[in-house]
Structure 1
Amino acid sequence: MKKTIVVPTDFSNNALTATQYAIKLAEKTGYNVHILHAYMSFRSAFQSDLANQTDEKRATLGAQKGMESFLQSLGPLAEKPDISSGEVKAGLVEAISDFTMADHTELIVMGTHGASGLKMGMLGSNTYDLAKAAIAPLLIIPSNTLFNGLGNIVFFTDYQDGDKDTWKSLNSLFGRLIKQCTLVHIHEENGPPTDVGQEKLDRWKAELEGTTGFSGLATQLVHGKESVDIVNETIDRLGATLTVLTLIGGRSFFEKLAHKSLAKAIIHQPKTPVFINQ
């Protein structure tokens, strides 16, 4: 059975960017792509059943017309045989969860605001909700991002066992597309990184490589306090085109950022596409 990428859409420009990215990615991996719009209809106990039914029909028709217009905006990309679409009356997390359980879904690709977007908006909020729901691996696409291969991957690690699952998931999904990846640990201690710290990172690199058979992970210790600034500085310096974080078990790098209210900043204002393993 072919693997499926599901792409939630709210019909915005950022959702269009994410869908275009997902389709181009699917061309390289041979996956199916399903474009999904979740919507809710207004219902009130203070109005008649007829009025509620009218509101529901209006919401359903609006979702169908919105999807039709969205597919037209994709142009020829929407006509590919491996592309499907649908509208579901449900909350987004529920709709994605149900679809993932029913279909062989391997990856969720979703848009959010990029570095230039200051307001979170509905799409950014829903992206963060999906990240927390941990339904399936999530690939977050900033606005105006074109797919040009995976390029330079930067994998932030805090030596948690969940990183092994993240690395295996990344290899399972993208396999031969992975050409270069740097394993980065942020060294927060007062003094600069030592040889002992580098040896620990190198041992962790060997453990990760042993889970997939991939050899060629680079390593780098970065000295400083964990923050969005140091994450973005590292991404810029390494020329990253994909950022990888873990969101499973223990005090992972992502969870510590979440505790400091920094995870939202990375998700809402990503400098590169962000891969989060669930």
Structure 2
Amino acid sequence: MYSTILVPTDGSETATRAVDYAVDVADTYDATVHALSVVDAGDLGLRTPPDVDVEELRRPLRERAQSAVDAVVRAGEAADVPVVAAVRVGVVHRTILDYAEENEVDLVVMGTHGRSGLSRALLGSVTEQVVRESSAPVLTVAPDGRREQDA
């Protein structure tokens, strides 16, 4: 049923819960997990004063992204599930959707941060945007670890 499962991660607790689901599903279906962490292009200092070293701003963001995918690799190794790790830079939801399409992903498993009301309206929801636009089914995992919705 599933051969390629994408788990976008930022290393947060909610993303880690989604990793557990992705590895479990991959183990069940002998699938490969693709771990993707996206460095948000908006966080790269594009509006930073010219005297600030932008590379110095980018380094910790890339390191955090790499650390997040490395954690997925370790979870996959522990379960004997193959994991492909990737770090990309871009608009987060668009990069996730593009990666899913490029890699013919069968299922996307991702966490939600549980925002509601004004904060959700103002910040938007990466997960919600992926659910709306993904051609693959999306399994979302709530902050408490329960599956929130299947799309």
Q: Classify the TM-score, shorter chain.
A: 0.7 to 0.9
Instruction: Say if 2:7 is the partner of 1:132.
Output: no
> Aligned partners of 1:86, 1:273: CA distance in 2, in Å?
26
Against the structure 1 CA distance between its residues 142 and 57, is the aligned structure 2 distance closer, same or farther, given a 3 Å change threshold?
A: closer
> In the aligned structure 2, how far is the partner of 1:6 from the partner of 1:36?
7
Residue pair 1:43, 1:55 contacting (<8 A) in 2 also: no
Query: Percent of aligned positions with the same letter in both sequences?
Result: 24
Cα deviation for residue 124 of structure 1 reads 8.2
Correspondence list, 1:147-162, <5 A: none
Distance 2:11 2:49 in 1: 31
* Equivalent position SS for 1:60: helix
Please provide the CA RMSD for this pair. Answer: 2.8
Return the match for 2:62 from 55, 60, 63: 60
Higher CA-based Rg: 1
Match of 1:42 among 21, 41, 45: 45
- Cα deviation code 1:117-172 (max 9, x no counterpart): 5x4478982111212223421111223437xxxxxxxxxxxxxxxxxxxxxxxxxx
Flag the 1:273–1:67 CA change in 2: closer, same or farther, 3 A: same
Aligned counterpart, 2:76? 78
8 Å contact 1:110–1:127 — kept in the other structure?
yes
Q: SS of the residue aligned with 1:105? A: coil
Counterpart mapping for 1:1-278 below 5 A: 3-40=3-40, 41-44=44-47, 46-48=49-51, 51-68=53-70, 70-71=71-72, 77-79=75-77, 80-113=80-113, 119-120=115-116, 125-145=125-145, 272-276=147-151
The code of the aligned residue for 1:35 comes to A
Tell me how many residue pairs correspond in the alignment: 141
| Structure 1 unmatched ranges of 5 or more | 147-271
> Once the 2 structures are TM-superposed, how far is the Cα of residue 14 of structure 1 from its aligned partner?
1.2
Q: Deviations over 1:56-78 (max 9, x none)?
A: 2332233223444x34xx85x33
Work out which structure has the larger RCO, using CA pairs closer than 8 Å and 6 or more positions apart in sequence: 2
Q: CA deviation at 1:273?
A: 3.8
**Structure 2, unaligned stretches of length 5 or more?**
none
- TM (norm. structure 2) is 0.76
TM-score by length of 1: 0.44
Q: Deviations over 1:234-257 (max 9, x none)?
A: xxxxxxxxxxxxxxxxxxxxxxxx
Q: Distance in 2 between matches of 1:92 and 1:36?
A: 10
2-side partners of 1:100 and 1:11: how far apart? 19
Counterpart AA for 2:11: F
